[in-house]
Amino acid sequence: MINRRFTDSGVEPPLAYVALAIGFIGLSFYLFHKTEFAQYIFVLSALALAGKFSEIRRTEFIKFCFGDKRWKKIRIAENLLIVFPFIIFLVIKLFFLSAIILFALAITLALMNFRASLNFTIPTPFSKQPFEFSTGFRNSFYLIAGAYTATIIAVVVGNFNLAIFSMMLVFAITLSYYTKPEHEYFVWSYSLNPRMFLIKKIKTATLFSSLLTLPIAIIIAIFFYQNIGVLLLFFLVGWAFLVCMIVSKYAAYPAELNIAQGFLIAISIWFPPLLIVLIPYFFFKSQNRLRSLLK
Amino acid sequence: MIEVRNLTKKYGTHEVLKNVNMQFDKGKVYGIVGENGAGKTTLFRCIAGLESFEGEINSDIQPLKNHLGLLLTEPFFFQKITGLEYIRLLCNARDTKIADIESRNIFELPLNQYASIYSTGMKKKLALTAILLQGNDYFILDEPFNGVDIHSNIIITEIIHKLRELNKIVIISSHIFSTLGETCDEIHLLQNGEFVKSVQKENFLELELEMKEITVGNKIEKLGLI
């Protein structure tokens, strides 16, 4: 399925794997260079990725196809395959304990099932303007709570970088709300032209993302007031990435973001001024893409 | 009024709709019948503007799509969005402000639960409620009676009567002839992408018998049931 996705995006799978490997190595070095908490972020990221494979319906399907004995082996193999690059990197960086913990947790996780949907409705402050933030918040509220906790830790230990990281993590979480294209019916339903539709989406996203990041920003402003300029800069960059994500999503619509777009966004992480060019470029492309559905 | 002129729709070389001409007038309910694959859903998608096509589709209120309530055969729902939020989403999309949605919940749906866990019938009723609250002038209802219980069936029939009274245009497709007979003013038979027969209310029975003859013939005897 992964190969098919690459092929659909117009990229040869071997080339995509090489690009992914280079991206992974580059990002890993960058992360370990940037923060002392890199090993924890690394372990959590690997487990979050492996956790995606523990969805109950998926596990039941594997059980149904391969029987009670083989499904455990398959799931363990899957998880180890996913966390393997992370373990290797931790070993290279001499974080042996983290590598062993990750190895053990990956195996444990393989034998657990998570329900993708709970039966009770998680309250959200975004209920008045569905859907991205209401569904996104319900899927990621625990990560946001984690970011808030990290902010408190940052204040306690007096670590400005960690505080900024927490805020950017919330922005990153909100970016993930815009990665998948919605059903055409939910674009077609709008009585707006493409330009107004995009502006409405951007307005909602910037307002709601601010609601989630403002508590962190206010705490940073109070406890690290000497760095308020840096805080504002990061806040603007967070907004810019969010806007870029929205317009790039609709620039590919109804398809998913393609590799080329992902590559451009990845470059802009290293060189954020690129967003000044990317946002208008994707905005105009989005308008063209949406013209068939929005008059 | 919705006017369809010389509508042709092709997927590759396969012609799904062949030079279709039809006029839908205000205050009338139209039934579209036909076998699976006859082109009903494609026709609806073309009218809605969800498909590109050759020909013309005009309406007295422009743009048509912004005044059209489209009930899909299988309405799509996001994960983790409640019934109430689904209605809000569709009303916001049309800039329609509804003060008290819960009091208009005539199908008594559990609006505070996630819509994705609703049954097929409940999903249909939720989608119908949403397009009704949008305040549309035109309605396309693709299989509105599919999967709904008998009580809701009666309510939907009454809703369609009310829409006619309010001078709306309603176009329905259904495989259940009795419900079409009860709700429609005209029924049009679509076959291989062409309208081959159109009948007024007084001749519905005749059409039903004719369709039964064409569709069933002596197929049941072939089963050899004893």
Interface touch A117/B80, C-beta < 8 Å: yes
| pLDDT band (50, 70, 90) for residue A114 | low
| pLDDT band (50, 70, 90) for residue A294 | very high
In chain A, which residues touch B (CB < 8 A)? 116-117, 119, 121-122, 127-131, 134-135, 138-139, 182-186, 188-191, 292-293, 295
Single-letter code of the amino acid located at B183: T
Interface touch A295/B66, C-beta < 8 Å: yes
Q: What is the structure's pLDDT at A42? A: 83
Interface touch A189/B93, C-beta < 8 Å: yes
Q: What is the structure's pLDDT at A18? A: 87
Q: Is 80 exceeded by the pLDDT of residue A235?
A: yes
A122-149 in b/e form (b: 16+ CB < 10 A) is eebebbebbbbbbbbbbbbeebbebbbe
Q: What is the structure's pLDDT at A246? A: 96
What would the pLDDT profile of B72-91 be if each residue is shown by its tens digit? 999 999 888 999 999 999 99
Q: What is the structure's pLDDT at A137? A: 93
Share of chain A above pLDDT 70, in %: 97
Q: What is the structure's pLDDT at A55? A: 74
- Chain B nearest CA to A130, separation (Å): 5
User: Which ipTM value was assigned to this complex?
Assistant: 0.92
**Contact by Cβ (8 Å): A99, A87:** yes
- Count of all residues that appear for chain A in the document: 295
Cα separation of A257 and A264, whole Å? Answer: 11
What would the pLDDT profile of A266-287 be if each residue is shown by its tens digit? 899 889 999 999 999 999 999 9
| pLDDT band (50, 70, 90) for residue B211 | confident
Candidate from B90, B114, B116 with C-beta closest to A189:
B90
Q: What is the structure's pLDDT at A196? A: 96
Cα B93 to Cα A54, B21, B77, B87, distances in angstroms: 36, 31, 15, 10
**Contact by Cβ (8 Å): B102, B163:** no
**Residue A126, helix vs strand vs coil:** coil
Share of chain A above pLDDT 90, in %: 48
Cα separation of B69 and A173, whole Å? Answer: 34
Structure-token match 């012609």, residue found: B15
Pairing, β B68-71 against β B194-200: unpaired
What would the pLDDT profile of A148-168 be if each residue is shown by its tens digit? 998 999 999 999 998 999 999
What would the pLDDT profile of B26-78 be if each residue is shown by its tens digit? 999 999 998 888 999 999 999 999 999 999 999 999 899 999 999 999 999 98
Interface touch B80/A138, C-beta < 8 Å: yes
Q: Which is nearest to B145 in space by CA: B175, B116, B115, B190? A: B175
Phi, psi at B47, each rounded to 5°: -60, -40
What would the pLDDT profile of A83-99 be if each residue is shown by its tens digit? 999 999 889 888 888 89
